[in-house]
A and B are shown apart, each in its own frame.
Chain A
Amino acid sequence: MVLKKERYLPFFLIIPSVMVILSIVAFPLLFSLYVSFTSYSLLDPHSMVFNGLENYLTLLKDSIFWHSLLNTVIFLTVGLNSELLLGLGIALLLAREIRGGRILRTIAMIPMMFAPALVGFQFKWFFNDQVGLVNNLLYSLNVISKPILWLIGPRLSMLSILVAEIWRGTSFMTIIFTAGLMSLPKDPFEAAEVDGASGFKKFRYITFPLLSPFVFIAMAIRSLDIATAFDIVQIMTGGGPAHRTELMWTYVYRLSIVDTQFGLGCAMSYVTVIISVLFAFYLFKQLIKARR
Chain B
Amino acid sequence: MKFSKRKIKKSILDILVYIVLFIIVIPGAWIIFTSIRPNVEINAYPPVWIPSKITFEEYRQDFFSHGLQEQAVPIRNYLFNSLTVAISSTIMALLLGTLAGFAFARFNFKGKDTLFLTIILTRAVPGIALSLPLFMLFIKWKLVDTLLGLSIVYIAYNIPFTIWIMDGFFREIPQDIEEAARIDGCTKWQAFIKIDLPLSTPGLAACGIFAFLMAWNEFQLASVLTRSLSSKTLPVGLFDFTSEFVMNWRGMCAMAVIMFIPAIAFTFLVSKNLVKGLTFGAIK
| Residues of chain A having any CB pair with chain B under 8 Å | 6, 9-11, 13-14, 16-18, 20-21, 23-29, 31-32, 35, 90, 93-94, 96, 98-99, 104, 106-118, 121-123, 125-126, 131, 133, 136-137, 139-140, 167, 170-171, 175-176, 178-180, 183, 213-214, 217, 220-221, 223-225, 227-228, 230-231, 249, 252-253, 256-257, 262, 265-266, 269-270, 272-273, 276-277, 279-281, 284, 287, 291
Contacts and interface: CB of A to CB of B under 8 A. Distances in A.
Contacts of A280: 120-121, 123-124
A69 to B, nearest CB: 14
A94 B13 CA distance: 10
Given A26-B122, A113-B260, A272-B128, A180 B45 contact: no
Interface residues of chain A: helix, strand, loop or mixed (majority): helix
B136 A109 contact: no
B128 A252 contact: yes
Contacts of A176: 275, 278-279
B155 interface: yes
Interface stretch (B63-71, B193-201, B211-219): B211-219
Given A176-B275, A266-B133, A272 B126 contact: yes
A106 B271 contact: yes
A268 to B, nearest CB: 9
Given A25-B130, A93-B13, A217-B278, A31 B136 contact: yes
B25 A121 contact: no
A26 B129 CA distance: 12
B3 interface: no
Contacts of B134: 24, 28
Contacts of B126: 227, 230, 249, 252, 269, 272-273, 276
A96 B13 CA distance: 10
Nearest to B119: A21
27 contacts: A9-B107, A13-B99, A14-B104, A20-B156, A21-B119, A24-B134, A24-B155, A26-B122, A28-B137, A29-B133, A96-B13, A98-B14, A98-B17, A108-B21, A111-B27, A113-B213, A114-B260, A121-B238, A123-B27, A213-B283, A217-B279, A227-B127, A231-B219, A252-B129, A277-B124, A281-B117, A287-B282
Nearest to B221: A24
Contacts of A279: 124
A257 B219 CA distance: 16
B31 interface: yes
Interface stretch (B51-59, B159-167, B173-181): B159-167
A16 B99 CA distance: 9
Given A113-B267, A117-B219, A272-B126, A24 B156 contact: yes
A239 to B, nearest CB: 12
Nearest to A92: B13
Given A18-B119, A21-B159, A269 B128 contact: yes
B283 A217 contact: yes
A17 B129 contact: no
B47 A17 contact: no
Contact of A109 (B123, B238, B267): B267
Contact of A224 (B17, B161, B260): B161
Interface in B1-44: 10, 13-14, 16-17, 20-21, 24-25, 27-28, 30-31, 43
B109 interface: yes
Most buried by B among A117, A183, A231: A117
Contact of B96 (A20, A117, A252, A256): A20
Contacts of A112: 213
Given A9-B188, A252-B129, A17 B25 contact: no
Contact of B238 (A96, A117, A265): A117
Contacts of A98: 14, 17
Contact of A20 (B152, B220, B252): B152
Nearest to B233: A115
A230 B252 CA distance: 20
Contacts of B153: 24
Contacts of B216: 115
B50 interface: no
A14 B238 contact: no
B124 A13 contact: no
